[in-house]
Amino acid sequence: MNRIESAFKNGKAFIAFLTGGDPSLEKTEEFIFELERAGASLIELGIPFSDPIAEGEVIQAASVRALNAGTTVHGIFELVKRVRKKSKIPLAFLTYLNPVYYYGYDKFFAKCAEVGVDGIIIPDLPFEEQGELKAEAEKYGITLISLIAPTSSERVERIAKESKGFLYIVSSMGVTGVRSEITTDIEAIVKSIRAVSKTPAAVGFGISTPEQAAHFAEIADGVIVGSAIVRIIEKYGKDAGKEVYEYVRAMVSGL
Partner 1 sequence: MKNGRFGEYGGQYIPETLMNEVTALEKAYEHYKNDLQFIAELDTLYRNYAGRPSLLYFAEKMTQDLGGAKIYLKREDLNHTGSHKINNVLGQALLAKKMGKTRVIAETGAGQHGVAIATAAALLGLECEIFMGEEDTERQSLNVYRMELLGAKVHTVTSGTKTLKDAVNETMREWTRRVSDTHYVLGSVMGPHPFPIIVRDLQSVISKEAREQILQCENKLPAAVIACVGGGSNAMGMFYHFIEDRDVKLIGCEAAGKGIYTPHHAATIAKGKKGVFHGMKSYFCQDENGQIAPVHSISAGLDYPGIGPEHAYLHKTRRAKYVPVTDEEAVSAFEYLAKTEGIICAIESAHAIAYVQKAARDFDKDESIIVCLSGRGDKDVAAIAKYRGVIIHEQN
SS3 call for 168: strand
- The rounded distance, in Å, linking the Cα atoms of 107 and 65 is 26
Q: Which of 81, 155, 179, 215 is in the footprint of partner 1 by CB under 8 A? A: 155
170 sits near partner 1 (criterion: CB under 8 A): yes
42 sits near partner 1 (criterion: CB under 8 A): no
174 sits near partner 1 (criterion: CB under 8 A): yes
Local structure of residue 18 (DSSP, 8 states): E
DSSP string, 115-175: HT--EEE-TT--GGGGGGTHHHHHHTT-EEE-EE-TT-TTHHHHHHHT--S-EEEE-SSSS
Determine the interface stretch with partner 1 among 78-86, 100-108, 185-193, 206-214 (rule: CB under 8 A). 100-108
State which residue, 129 or 187, has the beta carbon closest to partner 1: 129
DSSP string, 193-206: HHHH----EEEESS
Please report which helix (H) or strand (E) contains residue 83, including its range: helix 73-86
153 sits near partner 1 (criterion: CB under 8 A): yes
Determine the interface stretch with partner 1 among 6-14, 15-23, 51-59, 232-240 (rule: CB under 8 A). 51-59
Determine the interface stretch with partner 1 among 6-14, 84-92, 110-118, 140-148 (rule: CB under 8 A). 140-148
At 74, the amino acid letter reads H
Determine contact, residues 226/251, Cβ cutoff 8 Å: no
State which residue, 41 or 152, has the beta carbon closest to partner 1: 152
Distance of CA 210 to the CA centre of its chain: 18
100 sits near partner 1 (criterion: CB under 8 A): yes
Determine contact, residues 56/176, Cβ cutoff 8 Å: yes
State which residue, 45 or 175, has the beta carbon closest to partner 1: 175
Residue 100: CB minimum distance to partner 1, A:
8
Q: Which of 78, 113, 127, 243 is in the footprint of partner 1 by CB under 8 A? A: 127
- Of residues 208-247, which lie at the interface with partner 1 (CB under 8 A)? none
φ and ψ at 89, to 5 degrees? -60, 135
Query: Which residues lie near partner 1 (CB under 8 A)?
Result: 49-51, 53-54, 56, 60, 67, 72-73, 97-103, 123-129, 146-153, 155, 159, 170, 173-175
